Amino acid sequence: MKGRVVLKNVSALIIDDDEIQGNYLKHSLEAIGAAAVLVFDPDEFLSVLKEDDFDIVFIDYMMPKANGLSIFHSVLSEFGGSFNTPTLLMDNDFTESFGKEIFRTGYTNYLEKPVSKDSLSAALYLYLPKEKFVLQRERQHLHERGAAEVMTAPIIPETTVYEDEGVPAFLYEVEGMDVKEGLKNCGSAESFVSAVKLFHGSIKKKADEIEGFFNNQDINNYTIWVHALKSSARIIGIAELSKQAQLMEEAGNKGDLSAINEATPALLSDYRSYLDILSRISEDKDEENKLPEIPADVLSDAYESLRSFSDEMDIDLCEMVLKSIKEYTLPKEDEERMKKLNEMLLELDWEGMKKILPRE
């Protein structure tokens, strides 16, 4: 058995208007045991923040409705001028003067996007209580029982080899896409493929938005949207498109209309070309179809384990069982039940889980 550093009873709140980038960070946190809530709208963010206690908060800087500094001022206002939860601002570019402004506003620190595994780990270890970290011995089979071996341990950055099993082969042939870079940024094949699907699914809407702002010479919103494109393309390893968007963001920040007018048509054309180039990512159901049907004894073992672990209120072991089940095709009724169990686990609804788990 091998061990992995995980978080214990940690909840995180993220606000990022970009679905790709927000889900990328959410998946990174969930991969190490955190319960992460992702919000896209600043208005919704404040209400969620007031409803629940979070251990750490991540706020994107550049969004259409508000920027990260104004959002944090709203947070301070809502909490009587003081907010003690570790809060990190996220952006692609930081200067020394901007860094000073971030700290003056009251942020704990800032992270460069896309947030790397090492920088995320370092931030979590710096700002979360040390008892929130455990080294968990992973099980090899669902039928192995007993408590997981745990011990307090710090997060130590290490060289990671990112597995590419599950990445559609055609992505390696996409001109301009560096799959290895995408895997590195996203942390896993599953998160990378999800990010590519989100990127592809949003092209038409976002390209139309950028074109609309360009045609109306709304440079402020144009700059915000090409900034988001820069980050999204970079996360999935499309470096050249990311660079084009970065140049337009810089032109927007400078008010350089000549550069914007000259280069935007090519940017939009290249961006929209990925509608066809990546179309197979949405059409390809091979990964789902290749999943084997779950053996009856494995399904029974999974339910038995979930009954035991929900009695013990063990988040990590319940999560491990539910994750293992994703390797199989389930009967429709069990598929729906597992989906509900996942949702209830996020809410720590132990009684609800016990009610829908089949009896022995």
Average pLDDT for 226-234: 89
Nearest-angstrom CA–CA distance, 233 and 247: 14
Q: Is 93 exposed, middle or buried (0-12, 13-18, 19+ CB in 10 A)?
A: middle
The CATH number of domain 169-286 is 3.40.190: no
The CATH number of domain 3-151 is 3.40.50.150: no
Nearest-angstrom CA–CA distance, 94 and 100: 10
pLDDT digits (tens, 9 = 90+) for 65-124: 889 999 999 999 999 998 999 999 998 878 888 888 999 999 999 998 878 777 888 888
Nearest-angstrom CA–CA distance, 56 and 23: 16
Where in the chain do CATH 3.40.50.2300 domains reside?
Answer: 3-151
pLDDT digits (tens, 9 = 90+) for 283-334: 654 444 467 889 998 999 999 999 999 888 888 888 889 988 888 889 989 9
Torsion angle, CA of 178/117/4/180, rounded to 10 degrees?
A: 10
Where in the chain do CATH 1.20.120 domains reside?
Answer: 169-286
